Structure 1
Amino acid sequence: LRYFNVYGAREFYKNKTASMVLQFGLQILSGKNPRLFEGSDKIKRDFVYIKDIVQANLLTLNAASGVYNAATGIARSFQEIVDILQRELGSNLPCEYIPNPYARSYQFHTQADIEPTKKALGYEPKFSLEEGIKDYAAEIKRIYEEEINA
């Protein structure tokens, strides 16, 4: 399986390499303005919730050998992540937009083709970005309360 931008439970140990969903969520809960690169409404990735990744892994147990994209097939922006998190976490902090220091080498768009994965494995992502973040919000709060502020 070729994983795209996975987010969800049990990623806190990854520290600075944890998903931007978790990093933005922790920024918001700590009362800090979410920091985004300028133009973040146009910087898009294929974000996939861990529960869909688990499903994809289980489906490969009896599948023919091959390379399969584990993703949603839908690119969403970093701005959308922050907007959804603010709704789910009950916040309305203004975003702080900073220049992208990696602009020349930055990947501005990733989106998986999951049709082969759907056909070969019967894979169908169950969580939109909104649904995944809603499901993950309680865990983000727990991490903030028990791991950050313990």
Structure 2
Amino acid sequence: MRRLFVALSLTALSCLASGSIARAACAPGDFTKAQAAQGKILYDANCASCHMTNLSGGSGPALGGAKFKSYLDFTKITGAQLLSFITAQMPYQAPGSLKPAEYRSIFAYILQQNQYKAGNVPLTGQTAACIAMLPYPGKS
């Protein structure tokens, strides 16, 4: 029983330590302006026909503004989960057809348009976990 307690304690400490290390790797602004600029070009070519150029939604849901904030409030989705969904399910007519870096650039553009802060660190699959979608910084 004592060994089980020690093993569980060490596992818990390890998880706490790795979580702290992961959070320490997060920087203010987990995408760059250049990445978002590239994302706009890709968004316009692959996403705007359904989500509209202003991200207000059309045949696809809104990716900005009050409707997007409502979605975030309801789902409590994380940045990593949202990027994963976009990567696996979009564009609607050809899911998964873009390169991983292209999906990250599109997501960076969506973040920028919702007034999340850009920084000096490009968005990666790992740094997407750093993005707190709530509280929503954009205008509702």
TM-score, normalisation: structure 2: 0.24
Greater share of residues in helix: 2
Greater share of residues in strand: 1
TM-score, normalisation: structure 1: 0.23
Q: Which entry has the higher C-alpha Rg, 1 or 2?
A: 2
